[in-house]
Amino acid sequence: MSRLIMGPAGAVILTICLVLPALSSELTPWPPRDPGQPEASIAITKAWVTALRETRDFASLQRAAGAGGKLLAVETDPETPRAIYGWRGHDGRGQMKVFLYRTGDFGITATPADGAGEISMNNSGAFVCPSCSPPVDACGRRPSWVSHSVHWDGSDCHCTITGPQTLRPGPC
């Protein structure tokens, strides 16, 4: 019977090899494929977008839309690569753009067909709907794409609700 003898360096390497795959929660393959389904099976309305508020994963969002979306672009910023998907509502009623990150997190900007103005949200619980009654302006939890070096409060979250953006003094 053989015995495994290793020093501290070997133990560190073994730990890294065993732990890193378990910690990886990134989407594979990357970049994601294009489903080529830009028309949702529903109209994109304020009520429908509001119902997405509890959606936490991209596949659930696609099921809710009744279509996979259209891959519009893949941004390869090494710090925060993202894929941008687009949908238009059934019969051209409303539109939605989704920013999907390697981690599986996403942000949404939607322009509902019923003239509600733009609604922004993400899968971390942020939801901004100025035309809702009453208006909603919720930051939610800190999304994975927001660095912990950024102070996370009501003024910062609006600059980063759908993804990384440069924070600067005043409105972003």
pLDDT at residue number 106: 94
Q: What is the pLDDT of residue 85?
A: 97
8 Å CB contact between 162 and 99:
yes
Considering the entire predicted model, what is its pTM?
A: 0.77
CA distances from residue 161 to 1, 50, 145 in whole angstroms, order as listed: 57, 16, 9
Q: How far apart are CA 58 and CA 86, in angstroms?
A: 13
- Contact present, 160 and 167 (Cβ < 8 Å): yes
Each residue's pLDDT, cut to its tens digit, for the chain (172 residues) gives: 444 454 554 444 433 333 333 344 577 788 789 999 999 999 999 999 999 999 999 999 999 999 999 999 999 877 778 999 999 999 999 999 999 998 899 999 999 999 878 999 999 999 999 988 889 888 888 777 777 776 666 666 777 778 766 544 445 5
Q: How many CB atoms lie within 10 A of CB 35?
A: 13
